[in-house]
Amino acid sequence: CPPLGLETLKITDFQLHASTAKRYGLGAHRGRLNIQAGVNENDFYDGAWCAGRNDPFQWIEVDARRLTKFTGVITQGRNSLWSSNWVTSYRVLVSNDSHAWTAVRNESGDVIFEGNSEKEIPVLNMLPVPLVARYIRINPRSWFEEGSICMRLEILGCPLPDPNNYYHRRNEMTTTDNLDFKHHNYKEMRQLMKTVNKMCPNITRIYNIGKSNQGLKLYAVEISDNPGEHEVGEPEFRYIAGAHGNEVLGRELILLLMQFMCQEYLAGNPRIVHLIEDTRIHLLPSVNPDGYDKAYKAGSELGGWSLGRWTQDGIDINNNFPDLNSLLWESEDQKKSKRKVPNHHIPIPDWYLSENATVAVETRAIIAWMEKIPFVLGGNLQGGELVVAYPYDMVRSMWKTQDYTPTPDDHVFRWLAYSYASTHRLMTDARRRACHTEDFQKEDGTVNGASWHTVAGSINDFSYLHTNCFELSIYVGCDKYPHESELPEEWENNRESLIVFMEQVHRGIKGIVKDAHGKGIPNAIISVEGVNHDIRTGDYWRLLNPGEYVVGVKAEGYTAATKTCEVGYDMGATRCDFTISKTNLARIKEIMKKFGKQPISLSVRRLRQRARQWRQQ
């Protein structure tokens, strides 16, 4: 049977009870598998249920609210940096009325189940035979001798059908989409991509951006009306997932999304057809397949919080990018510095490019991909929380670990984050319980990354400062690796948000910068008055909220130009083209070069004229 849902919060706080609790922050409602403690462990958000006394009469109980076939129990110790507490053995009891209890027994008496030997690795115990009841109780019998009774748990059970119970029928989530709702290992993921490509060969293309540490190819699927080529005037969008290999829900959502878009395109869904014809979409479901393989082998409930998170060589891909924030801020703070850093397309430092730098091969592959394709908007799907985080992810002050640190495009990023969160079924629901310790409701399910926790070298900050692409981190669920029975509901939670966020790539202005002969000018700089962040062309897209903007363009050897461009509320970027002429000096240089001569700079010319006059005198 699947988990009842302590980790996914399907089981509410009101369904959890305990004999005693050390304090509120260690109450029964905190006894959920993989729950994480807050930074201050003495607050309301601690990392387990802990009994008020250490004796064999303590218990924690789950009310399933309906008859359920219980089949197993998974336990962990207390999540804590400072203390070591776990239960080493326990009994299991069941009841239909919470008064008369029956212990799980075998031929020799009450079964004593073996518990944990440390605090983080989950331990599964299957019941000798499944038991049908409404309540289940865990009664610790022994615990770590230098600690106390503390535990986190998940219960495995199959709720029995109850056609007369309107409450459960009303709250059961179903989906009408005919998709492959299961966890896919590497081989199955590859096969699913081939199936989608075979179903929709005219709008899909499979390619890889490089290899993992263990040599697994990093496969992506492109969805476009002309796969394989960049079309002028058509923006490029990307979703990636699995940078942390054990955050599996994002991977499966991307695989579901590619199936859904193919099916809806074939069915003639006008919204999806329009999106595919006007956008080049790239879906990369598994950035860290080596880490995923470790998590997959352990299974959805038994990998703990971190098994498979890192690459094979122990690197966290999500924070493995060059720290360009420090370069920019140092340049801004030291205005007299000779080394000026631009506010966009900041070059990667030489030290990072060296072979000795601690950079994962997966990270290098992503950077090469980001530099090759002119992405406009991207989302990286993560897990373990339910929030959308936008840059900057790094705090500007070196003395703080949390501080709101906005980009010059903060108003745009906040809208992009809200566009996902507000269309998700749960992110902005004021009634929902916080996943672990943070309540993001005050910002409608969004958060500035640096105000949450500071991180140097994040993919979001790097993408913003090194490319034209605005990237956000989308945390799609409290449970990093949900049981596959949860996938249909998670798809329903996220489906509309995934589509709405892609549509935001068409918000703002777009255009082409040409010379007087109609030829495109590469590397022209597009600036917006009042926003200290520029982008560069070929053809360009600039994400902006509705309003009127003074837009400027400049390019080496050309005269600068400005114009006013208005962004409306309707979806669809405003066309804002520029035609600029070469400067007089550039024309002279071109003519001189054509005739095999080099132009003389004005200062040298003046010196020669003076020398000639002096000789004549």
Strand partners, 153: 32, 75
pLDDT of residue 461: 97
Q: Minimal CA–CA distance to 516: which of 591, 425, 582?
A: 582
- Given this model, what pLDDT does residue 442 score? 81
Of 277, 262, 118, whose CA–CA distance to 195 is shortest? 262
CA 514: distance to chain centroid?
37
Find residue 27's DSSP bridge partners. none
Per-residue pLDDT band at 143 (split at 50, 70, 90): very high
The overall average pLDDT reported for the chain is: 92
Helix (H) or strand (E) holding 462: helix 459-466
**Identity of the residue numbered 102:** T
Q: Tell me: pLDDT of 599 over 70.
A: no
Mean pLDDT of 201-215: 97
Q: Which residues contact 150 (CB under 8 A, 6 or more apart)?
A: 26, 48, 49, 50, 51, 77, 78, 85, 86, 87, 143
Neighbours of 400 (CB within 10 A): 12
**Neighbouring residues of 355: CB distance < 8 A, sequence distance ≥ 6:** none
Domain boundaries of the chain, sorted by first residue: 13-159, 186-506, 509-582
Cα distance between residue 421 and residue 405, in whole Å? 20
Mean pLDDT of 88-104: 95
- Taking each continuous run of H as one helix and of E as one strand, the counts in the chain are 14, 27
User: Superfamily assignment of 13-159 in CATH?
Assistant: Galactose-binding domain-like (2.60.120.260)
Instruction: Give dist(CA 507, CA 484) in Å, integer.
Output: 35
Q: What are phi and psi of 44, to 5 degrees?
A: -75, -10
Q: Is the pLDDT of residue 603 over 70?
A: no
What is the reported pLDDT for 485?
93
**What's the CA gap between 156 and 459, in Å, rounded?**
37
End-to-end CA gap in the chain:
106
At residue 125, does pLDDT exceed 60? yes
The confidence score (pLDDT) of residue 613 equals 77
Q: For residue 595, is pLDDT > 80?
A: no
From CA 288, how far away is CA 311, in angstroms rounded? 6
In this structure, the strands spanning 470-477 and 509-511 are unpaired
Phi, psi at 193, each rounded to 5°: -60, -40
Task: Decide if 15 contacts 32 (C-beta within 8 A).
Answer: no
Say yes or no to pLDDT of 598 above 80.
Answer: no
By the 8 A CB rule, do 222 and 359 touch? no
508: left (phi over 0), alpha (psi -120 to 50) or beta: left
Which numeric CATH code is attached to 186-506? Answer: 3.40.630.10
- Give the DSSP per-residue string, 106-119: ETTEE--EE--SSS
pLDDT at residue 108, as a whole number = 87
Query: What is the predicted pLDDT for the residue at 49?
Result: 96
What pLDDT is recorded for position 441? Answer: 83
Alpha carbon distance 218, 196 (integer Å) = 17
Rounded to an integer, the average pLDDT of 197-202 is 97
Residue 425's SS3 state is: coil
Q: What's the confidence (pLDDT) of residue 367? A: 97
Residue 235 binned pLDDT confidence (cut-offs 50, 70, 90)? very high
How large a percentage of the chain has pLDDT more than 70?
Answer: 94
pLDDT in tens, 534-546: 999 878 999 999 9
Residue 14 has pLDDT above 70, yes or no: yes
User: Is it the case that residue 444 has pLDDT exceeding 60?
Assistant: yes
Cβ-defined contacts of 221-225 (< 8 Å, 24+)? 221/193, 221/196, 221/197, 221/258, 221/282, 221/283, 222/280, 222/281, 222/282, 222/283, 223/258, 223/261, 223/262, 223/276, 223/280, 223/281, 223/282, 223/283, 224/276, 224/279, 224/280, 224/281, 225/276, 225/277
Residue 435 corresponds to which tokens in the numbers above? 């996943």
For the cut 80, the answer to whether the pLDDT of residue 42 exceeds it is no
pLDDT the model gives residue 167: 53
pLDDT at 617: 66
**pLDDT for position 210:** 97
In the chain, % of residues over pLDDT 90: 80
Name the more confident of 172 and 477: 477
Q: Which of 363-367, 519-523, 567-571 has the highest mean pLDDT?
A: 363-367
Q: Which CATH class is domain 509-582?
A: mainly beta
- Within 10 angstroms of residue 421's Cβ, the number of other Cβ atoms is 23
Residue 520 scores a pLDDT above 80: yes
Phi, psi angles (nearest 5°) of residue 524: -70, 145
Q: Mean pLDDT, to the nearest integer, of 39-68?
A: 91
Q: What is the per-residue pLDDT for 337?
A: 62
Give yes or no for residue 74 having a pLDDT over 80: yes
- CB neighbours of residue 198 within 10 Å: 10
- Coil, strand or helix at 235: coil
DSSP 3-state of 572: coil
CA angle 175, 177, 181 (to 5 degrees): 80
Q: Residue 232: pLDDT above 60?
A: yes
Token pair listed for 87: 């239960």
596 pLDDT higher than 70: no
d(CA 598, CA 604): 13
The CB density around residue 62, as the number of other CB atoms within 10 Å, is 26
Whether the pLDDT of residue 166 is over 60: the answer is: no
CA distance 342 to 327: 10
User: So what's the pLDDT on residue 40?
Assistant: 74
pLDDT digits (tens, 9 = 90+) for 262-293: 999 999 999 999 999 999 999 999 999 999 99
How far apart CA 225 and CA 205 sit, in angstroms, is 10
Pair of tokens at residue 610:
């003076």
